[in-house]
């Protein structure tokens, strides 16, 4: 499903215009990005959680030349599905 198909489906379900639904969707995504930039998290009951986690610094070996390289600590975004949604998908007989 594309973004436009999703917007069309939501607009039809709630009886809103496609333009208003697009504005809502874009605002929704923008606000999730703001939360992640603030290194915070946002939870949606029954769906999941958007957030950030800190990955520790580590040393690895460059496969091209064998030298050890330091990778600094960094922050990365994540999405974690809620258990209810995982269970629902797990119990589906097919993905048709």
Contact, 66 vs 95, CB < 8 A? no
Burial class (CB in 10 A: 0-12, 13-18, 19+), 14: exposed
Is residue 86 predicted with pLDDT exceeding 60?
yes
Is residue 27 predicted with pLDDT exceeding 90?
yes
**Confidence band, pLDDT 50/70/90 cuts, at residue 49:** very high
Higher-confidence residue: 86 or 53?
Answer: 53
Q: Which CATH architecture best describes the domain 46-96?
A: Irregular (4.10)
Q: How far apart are CA 17 and CA 6, in angstroms?
A: 13
At 93 the pLDDT is 60
Is residue 95 predicted with pLDDT exceeding 60?
no
Contacts for 78 with CB less than 8 Å, ≥ 6 apart: 50, 51, 52, 53
Portion of the chain with pLDDT greater than 70, in percent: 96
The pTM (predicted TM-score) of the whole model is 0.71
Is residue 16 predicted with pLDDT exceeding 60?
yes
**Domain regions of the chain by residue span:** 1-38, 46-96
């Amino acid at each position: 499903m594309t973004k436009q198909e999703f917007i069309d489906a939501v607009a039809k379900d709630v009886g809103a215009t496609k333009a208003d639904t697009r504005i809502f969707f874009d605002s929704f995504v923008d606000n999730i990005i703001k939360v992640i930039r603030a290194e915070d998290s946002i939870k949606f009951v029954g769906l999941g959680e958007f957030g950030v986690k800190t990955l520790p610094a580590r040393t690895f070996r460059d496969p091209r030349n064998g030298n050890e390289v330091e990778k600094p600590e960094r922050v990365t975004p994540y999405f974690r599905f809620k258990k209810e949604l995982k269970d629902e998908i797990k119990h589906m007989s097919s993905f048709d």
